[in-house]
Chains A and B, each alone.
Chain A
């Protein structure tokens, strides 16, 4: 199975894109920390001097947290004021980093990967933004029918539905969601890879059509990629979060919990790069990459063989 091979290779390819993974991780960490800095400072100001706030460390006494909203609403308004802006900025930066990482993996440039990362990021950012927009349009178009189906299933959830049937329907919803995600991720990922592998001469629309066509033609592998990486992500975050959540209660465990969660996020960042590597590798191996048409060689100009010039006869000079 070529796509499984691509996932395997993508992991190694991801290693090449370790820089991208680091930047993915650090960007989210820094931006989220900066966004929440005013809230953190406000909470410290109010809670540090309040021995009665102790239960909050363990996630208990939520009424006391509300008290801060009632008595010091400024903490929350200031705290969350920056969050919206941070998320907007993040969307832009994340696309830039995606472009950089994809370029780094697809083009495997010589020289400084740091410079190559930002150079590719800058050059691919706008095309990636355009491709993302087209993927979203495709998602909306493709999503209409399944949405109607979901609505129909929802209507079918009347009181007579048994628990088994209910969870069956929920499962069907999950499959539909996965299918839509496949369409979106396939279209986005393969078109981005196609663009990065190409020399930039292919028009954006053609690139998108080529990538989307490829993802639909290779739907099973595309579905496999989506399902594999989605499950990997869910397992990483959910499993770890559920495992460490109870540990917030005490100082030492709170630190360990936070550390483990950061490791989980770092793994997530690597998974993203791994995914890019797998998509790039699979596209390349399956002939989905853009091949610029060969440059036509100029027709040979036949130069007719010249008639031998008659020898110039030297005039006879007689004395």
Chain B
């Protein structure tokens, strides 16, 4: 059925373009469609002002009457330094700095409610100095199941690109640009937070019919599908429709290189900066891989189109952002093929069309539900596609880095400052917000996969997505569905990970190999008992009292004949310690001198566990050999072996010396 939809959509597009009425993209709505927008807007390319009107049809799908309505006016975050956003961010975000010479705003010039066919003006109210949230008292309250219709006229001054949107020279990234309803939660009221530095967005699904007027030579990309275009003088007007989405973003620039391909029924359109045009295939390949693997693991991409926008170097603040059916990526001519950042950004932002786009969680309050789950799937796609050790850096000057490893980096740097589940504005800073919502969340899910196994994890996540798609799920929904699908209560594992700041560090605490020949004292099997120590001791007699001694013994014995080793019997003890508050199960791989191995499974309860063996000497112990628990803060103490290996340190030192020596040679050559 889903395969059928794009065909229907394509046919509908062809017919309706001729008939000049919007097409129907989905015969059966996928979402509640309770917040529908018909917007007409025009861009003044010189002043970067967007003027528009919108007609909003909103249906109350909650069980309580709505007497007022709240709207987001996101661009007012950039109106002055009194806004919550600028106050919190200090004008800096994601490595970008706000240009205080180019402020922006969203001004509602009029708002009215249509009551009995008449337009009744509504009074705008604001709370405090931040004007990113506007309240109106309704002229006619909306009962459960009832509808309200608003007419709004607005004017946006785009700021210079900062925090996802704005303009840079002739490039315009127009996101979060129209007055937009918050989410009505019945008895809990409206969920409509101010625009915070760390927060993203939250809104209801609907149908968007948007008419955009731009200069004639501008290339436009947007959420939805364009179904009509009409030129008039120096301008052109585009008609666009999107269904079952909760936002609408668009971009316009006269300089885009416009390239389109179709993959698995989805039209992939790349709007590229000319300078980056050679990287179009990289974006395309990443988009195709995302479509392919999400269809396999979660759900087929249901929309007929995806537009990927490449911002210019001076507008990189707009890079790496998601909108329904439209994402922004980011690359540079210097980004060699071994550096997989452009691919990763496309995979990540495209993935948001599932996690945020269709699973429309409240990003203000539980950002991990989209950022974290999406980051987890980003690591999976990148690893599956490019290899788990090469998915971020694939051999650049001999260095390699996988995406899971990359996600671990912020987590192990600041593992316990904030919990994952937290209102976005309550994090200590943007760094902990990022480390928790992206890195640690992805690592938590990788750990969950390690516990459940990939097949079960896939079942769980598929069930979760299918149950919550086109709704507003919460962490409680996630926990409920995971436990149900896993067939066991996963709360004891997941709640501390999501709500707590505890950490875990497994380590090999002690390994002891004691040869049976070492018996001391009286041999009671002899008659009369004799003191063992009185006899000449066997060659190679040893006693390993601790980990260090065992290592020395192992080294000493390494050169002995194998036949003799086989005859010797050891009593060995391996002690694994769990540091930190988190209780997680872990595997331990023990290797014996005769080449046999044993995989132990410890449920992680207690502070340590000791395994006892009889037979061949233990020569190597690895805790979590397949790195199923990437939550482990220190992987370097997860191993023990009788033979030390100086190669990693030597190789690293050589690399550093090459750099140091190279710089010294450079200096000598300049003097």
Instruction: Please indicate the chain A residues that have their CB under 8 angstroms from the CB of B170 in the complex.
Output: 158-160
Q: Considering the complex, give the chain B residue whose CB is closest to the CB of A54.
A: B648
Instruction: Please indicate the chain B residues that have their CB under 8 angstroms from the CB of A254 in the complex.
Output: 647, 650-651, 654
Asked if B412 contacts A44 (CB within 8 A), the reply is no
What's the least CB distance linking B85 to chain A, in Å? Answer: 26
What's the least CB distance linking B253 to chain A, in Å? Answer: 7
Q: Which of A31, A32, A56, A269 contacts B651, CB < 8 Å?
A: A56
Q: Which of B275, B622, B656 contacts A51, CB < 8 Å?
A: B622
Q: Is A66 an interface residue (CB 8 A)?
A: yes
Asked if A50 contacts B647 (CB within 8 A), the reply is no
Q: Which of A24, A35, A43, A49 contacts B660, CB < 8 Å?
A: A35
Instruction: Please indicate the chain A residues that have their CB under 8 angstroms from the CB of B144 in the complex.
Output: none
What's the least CB distance linking A23 to chain B, in Å? Answer: 10
Contact with B along A251-292 (1 / 0, CB 8 A): 100100110010001001101100100000000000000000
Asked if A59 contacts B398 (CB within 8 A), the reply is yes
Interface of chain A: mostly helix, strand, loop or mixed: helix
Contact with A along B640-665 (1 / 0, CB 8 A): 11001111111111111110111111
Instruction: Please indicate the chain A residues that have their CB under 8 angstroms from the CB of B641 in the complex.
Output: 49, 51
Instruction: Please indicate the chain A residues that have their CB under 8 angstroms from the CB of B664 in the complex.
Output: 27-28, 31-32, 87, 90, 94
Asked if A91 contacts B671 (CB within 8 A), the reply is yes
Instruction: Please indicate the chain B residues that have their CB under 8 angstroms from the CB of A159 in the complex.
Output: 168-171, 253, 255, 273-275, 312-315
Asked if B656 contacts A161 (CB within 8 A), the reply is no
Interface size class of A (residues with CB under 8 A): 35 or more
Of the listed stretches A67-75, A104-112, A145-153, name the one at the interface; the rest are far from the partner chain.
A67-75
> Considering the chains assembled together, what is the distance between the CA atoms of A67 and B411 in angstroms?
11
Q: Is A33 an interface residue (CB 8 A)?
A: yes
Q: Is A242 an interface residue (CB 8 A)?
A: yes
Q: Considering the complex, give the chain A residue whose CB is closest to the CB of B654.
A: A258
> Considering the chains assembled together, what is the distance between the CA atoms of A245 and B658 in angstroms?
11
Instruction: Please indicate the chain A residues that have their CB under 8 angstroms from the CB of B667 in the complex.
Output: 87, 90-91, 94
Contact with A along B81-116 (1 / 0, CB 8 A): 000000000000000000000000000000000000
For the A-B complex, the count of residue pairs with Cβ-Cβ distances under 8 Å equals 226
Q: Which of A57, A58, A95 contacts B671, CB < 8 Å?
A: A95
Asked if A67 contacts B634 (CB within 8 A), the reply is yes
Asked if A272 contacts B634 (CB within 8 A), the reply is no
Asked if B649 contacts A242 (CB within 8 A), the reply is no
What's the least CB distance linking B217 to chain A, in Å? Answer: 12
Asked if A61 contacts B662 (CB within 8 A), the reply is no
Q: Which of B612-649 contact A (CB under 8 A)?
A: 620, 622, 633-641, 644-649
Q: Which of B171, B397, B644, B663 contacts A49, CB < 8 Å?
A: B644
With A51-B620, A159-B314 already in contact, the answer to whether A40 and B660 are too (CB < 8 A) is no
Q: Is B21 an interface residue (CB 8 A)?
A: no
> Considering the chains assembled together, what is the distance between the CA atoms of A37 and B275 in angstroms?
44
Instruction: Please indicate the chain A residues that have their CB under 8 angstroms from the CB of B255 in the complex.
Output: 159-160
Q: Is B399 an interface residue (CB 8 A)?
A: yes
Instruction: Please indicate the chain B residues that have their CB under 8 angstroms from the CB of A51 in the complex.
Output: 620, 622, 639-641, 645
> Considering the chains assembled together, what is the distance between the CA atoms of A237 and B658 in angstroms?
10
Of the listed stretches B343-351, B367-375, B401-409, B525-533, name the one at the interface; the rest are far from the partner chain.
B401-409
> Considering the chains assembled together, what is the distance between the CA atoms of A166 and B277 in angstroms?
11
Q: Is A97 an interface residue (CB 8 A)?
A: yes
Q: Which of B276, B400, B401 is packed against the most chain A CB atoms within 10 Å?
A: B400
Asked if A44 contacts B671 (CB within 8 A), the reply is no
Instruction: Please indicate the chain A residues that have their CB under 8 angstroms from the CB of B398 in the complex.
Output: 59, 245-246, 248
> Considering the chains assembled together, what is the distance between the CA atoms of A83 and B648 in angstroms?
21
With A51-B640, A94-B671 already in contact, the answer to whether A36 and B274 are too (CB < 8 A) is no
Asked if A28 contacts B654 (CB within 8 A), the reply is no
Asked if A57 contacts B651 (CB within 8 A), the reply is yes
Q: Which of B276, B395, B635, B640 is packed against the most chain A CB atoms within 10 Å?
A: B635
Asked if B413 contacts A48 (CB within 8 A), the reply is no
Asked if B635 contacts A67 (CB within 8 A), the reply is yes
Instruction: Please indicate the chain B residues that have their CB under 8 angstroms from the CB of A19 in the complex.
Output: none
Contact with A along B384-425 (1 / 0, CB 8 A): 000001000101011111100110110011000000000000
Interface of chain B: mostly helix, strand, loop or mixed: helix
Instruction: Please indicate the chain B residues that have their CB under 8 angstroms from the CB of A271 in the complex.
Output: 669
Q: Is B19 an interface residue (CB 8 A)?
A: no
Q: Which of B314, B635, B638, B658 is packed against the most chain A CB atoms within 10 Å?
A: B658
Instruction: Please indicate the chain B residues that have their CB under 8 angstroms from the CB of A268 in the complex.
Output: 665, 669
Instruction: Please indicate the chain A residues that have their CB under 8 angstroms from the CB of B278 in the complex.
Output: 163
Q: Is A22 an interface residue (CB 8 A)?
A: no
> Considering the chains assembled together, what is the distance between the CA atoms of A83 and B253 in angstroms?
49
Asked if A70 contacts B412 (CB within 8 A), the reply is yes
Q: Is B18 an interface residue (CB 8 A)?
A: no
Asked if A261 contacts B658 (CB within 8 A), the reply is yes
Contact with B along A186-217 (1 / 0, CB 8 A): 00100000000000000000000000000000
Asked if B660 contacts A163 (CB within 8 A), the reply is no
Q: Considering the complex, give the chain A residue whose CB is closest to the CB of B315.
A: A159
Instruction: Please indicate the chain A residues that have their CB under 8 angstroms from the CB of B476 in the complex.
Output: none
Instruction: Please indicate the chain B residues that have their CB under 8 angstroms from the CB of A258 in the complex.
Output: 654
Q: Is A46 an interface residue (CB 8 A)?
A: yes
With A59-B398, A246-B398 already in contact, the answer to whether A64 and B635 are too (CB < 8 A) is yes
Q: Which of B525-572 contact A (CB under 8 A)?
A: 551
Q: Is A157 an interface residue (CB 8 A)?
A: yes
Instruction: Please indicate the chain B residues that have their CB under 8 angstroms from the CB of A220 in the complex.
Output: none
Asked if A32 contacts B636 (CB within 8 A), the reply is no
Q: Which of B149-203 contact A (CB under 8 A)?
A: 168-171
What's the least CB distance linking A232 to chain B, in Å? Answer: 11
Q: Considering the complex, give the chain A residue whose CB is closest to the CB of B388.
A: A60
What's the least CB distance linking B627 to chain A, in Å? Answer: 9
Asked if A24 contacts B668 (CB within 8 A), the reply is yes
With A48-B645, A54-B648, A254-B650 already in contact, the answer to whether A98 and B400 are too (CB < 8 A) is no
- 8 tightest A-B CB contacts, nearest first: A245-B398, A51-B639, A159-B312, A60-B400, A43-B649, A63-B405, A32-B660, A32-B661
Residues of A within 8 A of B (CB): 24, 27-29, 31-33, 35-36, 39-40, 43-44, 46-68, 70-71, 83, 86-87, 90-91, 94-95, 97-98, 128, 132, 157-163, 165-167, 184-185, 188, 233, 237, 241-242, 245-246, 248-249, 251, 254, 257-258, 261, 265, 268-269, 271-272, 275
Given A49-B551, A272-B668, 13 other A-B residues pairs in contact with their CB atoms under 8 A = A39-B656, A40-B649, A48-B646, A56-B651, A62-B399, A63-B405, A86-B660, A132-B671, A158-B170, A159-B312, A165-B275, A271-B669, A275-B669
Q: Could you list 13 examples of A-B contacts with CB < 8 Å?
A: A43-B648, A48-B644, A51-B639, A52-B639, A56-B652, A59-B399, A62-B393, A62-B400, A83-B660, A159-B274, A160-B254, A160-B255, A237-B665
